[in-house]
Structure 1
C-alpha cells in the first residue's frame, strides 16, 4: 500500500537538505578561509596597538621589538593553528547547519519509507538519499566531538553532489517493488550497505587530504599549501581514515554475507557470478588489501592509501556503472540497484 499524499513531503525534505548543505558548504569554506589567513600582518598590527594612551613612547617601544614581515621567521607567516573567534563562530554555524541537513535527510528517508510502506532502499534514488543521510549523520556525530570542522567542506561537497545526482539522474517516484524484492532481507542487506558507504564516504576525503599533507610535509617549501596548514598531520589523517575504513569494511562484509543468504533464498544458490555480486566482492577484496597493507610492516602508508581510494572508486563504480550500463546486465537489474 502506498500513501501518495506523503511523497511531496519526502521530496521537500530532500530539497530542504540540499539548500541547507549548500549554505553549509559555503560556511565551511568561509571557515577554512578564516583559518588560512596569514598572520604576518596581523601580528604586526597587534604589536603596534598601544596598551594605553599615556604617551607615544609606548608605541615606539612596541615598534622596537616587532619584526617586519620581511624579518620575521617563516613560522610567523604560517597559519595560526588555533581558531580565531570569528572562525569559531563560522564553524559553529556550519556544524549546526550540518545537524539540520542530516535531520532533513533522515526525515526524508522516514517519510519515503512511510509513503511506500517498506524499507526506503529499493532503487538508486532511495539508496543515494539514504547513503547521504548516513554520511551526514556520521560526520555530524564526529564534527564537534573531534573538532573535524576542517573536513566539513569536503564531506558536505560530496553529500551535495550525491543529492544532486539523486534528484537529477536517479529520481524514481514512490512505488511498490517487484515481488522478488519484497523480502525482509532487503531492509537488512541494503541498509548495511548504506551504512558502509556512509563510512567509506568520510574516509575518502581523509585519504585525499592525507596524501596532500604528506606531500606538504615532505616538500615544506612548495607553494600553495596554506589550506593544509589547518589540517592535522598526515599520520593523524591516516589513522582517522583507517578507522573509518575498518568500520566500513566490517559492514561491507556483512553486506556480502546477507546478500549471499538472500540470493540462496531467492535464487536457490549463494553465488551466481552476477555482475553485482562480483563487483561487491571486488570492493571487499580491495578494502581487505588496504587493511592488510596498512597492518603489514614495511608497506608505505601512501601505497595503502592509494588502495583505499581505489576501493571507494570501486564502490562508486559498483553503484553507477554496474547499475546503469547494459554491459553489466545481470540478475540484479530488475531492482534498479
Structure 2
C-alpha cells in the first residue's frame, strides 16, 4: 500500500509542534525548580511527615486544602503551567505516532525514530500519572530534560521517512511485543531516574555544599524518592517480563528459536536481571539504602546502552531500525 504523504507530513508537523511545547514546558519547570525555596521544617501531621521535606511545597501534599487567599509564587505558577503544557505536548506526541501509523497503514513502531517517540510518550504519561499521586512536581525538569534530548536525537539522527516496514516486522507480534517493551521501558526509565535522584538526595546529607547539595535541597525527601522508584518499578518490571516472553515467542516463529543471544536480546536480559535484583533486594532483605538505588541506576544505564550503542554500533538480527 502506498504511503499517504499528507498524513506523514502532518505527523512531522505534530512532532515539531510537540517538541517545541516540550521545550517550553522544560523552561517552565526549570523556573519552578530554580526558584523553589529550601525548607527544613517537617509537618506535625504523621501522614504528611513522610512527604514534607527539604524543598517540598506543602501545597503539593495530596488532600491538603489550599488557602484561597494565598498568592502563588512565580515558581509554583511556572510549575503548574509546566504540567499543563506537558499534557498538550504529550497529546501532540501521541498524534505524531498515530498519524505515522495511519500514513503507512501499519503499527507505528517499525524503526528507531518511531520507537523514540513512543518511549518519550510512555515516560511522560507515566510521569503525569505519578505526579497526581505523589508531591513530586519539582521532578518535572528531570523528566522533561531527557525527553527533549531524546526527541532532538530522534529528529537529527534517527529520522526515517514514513514507509512500509521490512519483512521481519510484518507480523501482529510487533503490536504486542514492541508496544509492551517500549511502554515498560518508559515506566522503568522514570523509576530509575527517581532512584538516581534518591542517590543524590542521600549523598547531599553528608555534603551540604556544591551543586549536588543545591539540587538535593529542592528535591522531595530521599524516602519519598525511593518509594516512588520502588512502586513504579513494581509496575514496569512485570510488563518488561511479558514483553521479553512475547519477543521470544515471536523469535521462534520468525527465526526458528526462542533465544539466540543476539546483542539486543543479551543486553535486554541483563537489564531484566538488574531490575529483578532491585526488586528482590527490596522484597527479601528490605534494603532501602543506596545499594538498591544503584542497582536501579545500573539497569537504566544498561537500557540506554541497549538503545543507543547496540542500535548504532552493533550488528545483529535486530539491526532493522533504519540506522544500518
TM range (shorter): 0.7 to 0.9
1:178 Cα deviation (Å)? 1.7
Task: Give the TM-score of the pair, scaled to structure 1.
Answer: 0.82
Residue 115 of structure 2 corresponds to residue 114 of structure 1: no
Residue 16 of structure 2 corresponds to residue 15 of structure 1: yes
Q: Indicate how the Cα distance of structure 1 residues 144 and 299 shifts in structure 2: closer, same or farther if over 3 A, else same.
A: closer
Q: Indicate how the Cα distance of structure 1 residues 223 and 158 shifts in structure 2: closer, same or farther if over 3 A, else same.
A: closer
Residue 232 of structure 2 corresponds to residue 231 of structure 1: no
Mapped to 2, the partners of 1:178 and 1:13 lie a distance apart of 25
Asked if structure 2 preserves the Cα contact closer than 8 Å seen for 1:181 and 1:335, the reply is no
Instruction: Specify the alignment match of 2:289 in structure 1.
Output: 301
Instruction: Specify the alignment match of 2:127 in structure 1.
Output: 139
Match of 1:244 among 232, 236, 242: 232
Instruction: Specify the alignment match of 2:50 in structure 1.
Output: none
1:208 Cα deviation (Å)? 1.6
Instruction: Specify the alignment match of 1:255 in structure 2.
Output: 243
Instruction: Specify the alignment match of 2:311 in structure 1.
Output: 323
Structure with larger Rg: 1
RMSD: 2.1
- Count matched residues: 296
1:138 Cα deviation (Å)? 1.5
Instruction: Specify the alignment match of 2:72 in structure 1.
Output: 85
Q: C-alpha offsets along residues 71-130 of structure 1, whole Å, 9 cap, x if unaligned?
A: xxxxxxx86844561233222211100100111101111111101111111110000011
**Secondary structure, aligned partner of 1:35:** coil
Residue 115 of structure 2 corresponds to residue 127 of structure 1: yes
Instruction: Map 1:43-122 onto structure 2 (within 5 A).
Output: 81-82=57-58, 85-86=72-73, 87-122=75-110
User: Please, which runs of 5 or more residues in structure 1 have no aligned partner?
Assistant: 40-77
Residue 299 of structure 2 corresponds to residue 311 of structure 1: yes
User: Please, which runs of 5 or more residues in structure 2 have no aligned partner?
Assistant: 41-53, 60-70
Mapped to 1, the partners of 2:17 and 2:109 lie a distance apart of 20
Mapped to 2, the partners of 1:266 and 1:38 lie a distance apart of 57
Q: Indicate how the Cα distance of structure 1 residues 236 and 288 shifts in structure 2: closer, same or farther if over 3 A, else same.
A: same
Mapped to 2, the partners of 1:241 and 1:178 lie a distance apart of 37
Asked if structure 2 preserves the Cα contact closer than 8 Å seen for 1:207 and 1:305, the reply is yes
Asked if structure 2 preserves the Cα contact closer than 8 Å seen for 1:134 and 1:195, the reply is yes
**Secondary structure, aligned partner of 1:230:** coil
Mapped to 2, the partners of 1:169 and 1:222 lie a distance apart of 39
Q: Indicate how the Cα distance of structure 1 residues 80 and 131 shifts in structure 2: closer, same or farther if over 3 A, else same.
A: closer
Deviates more, 1:145-154 or 1:128-137: 145-154
Mapped to 1, the partners of 2:289 and 2:56 lie a distance apart of 28
1:222 Cα deviation (Å)? 3.8
Mapped to 1, the partners of 2:222 and 2:284 lie a distance apart of 18
Mapped to 1, the partners of 2:39 and 2:77 lie a distance apart of 19
Q: Which 4+ residue blocks in structure 1 deviate beyond 6 angstroms?
A: none
**Secondary structure, aligned partner of 1:333:** coil
Asked if structure 1 preserves the Cα contact closer than 8 Å seen for 2:55 and 2:219, the reply is no
Deviates more, 1:132-141 or 1:188-197: 132-141
Q: Indicate how the Cα distance of structure 1 residues 102 and 80 shifts in structure 2: closer, same or farther if over 3 A, else same.
A: closer
Mapped to 2, the partners of 1:316 and 1:210 lie a distance apart of 19
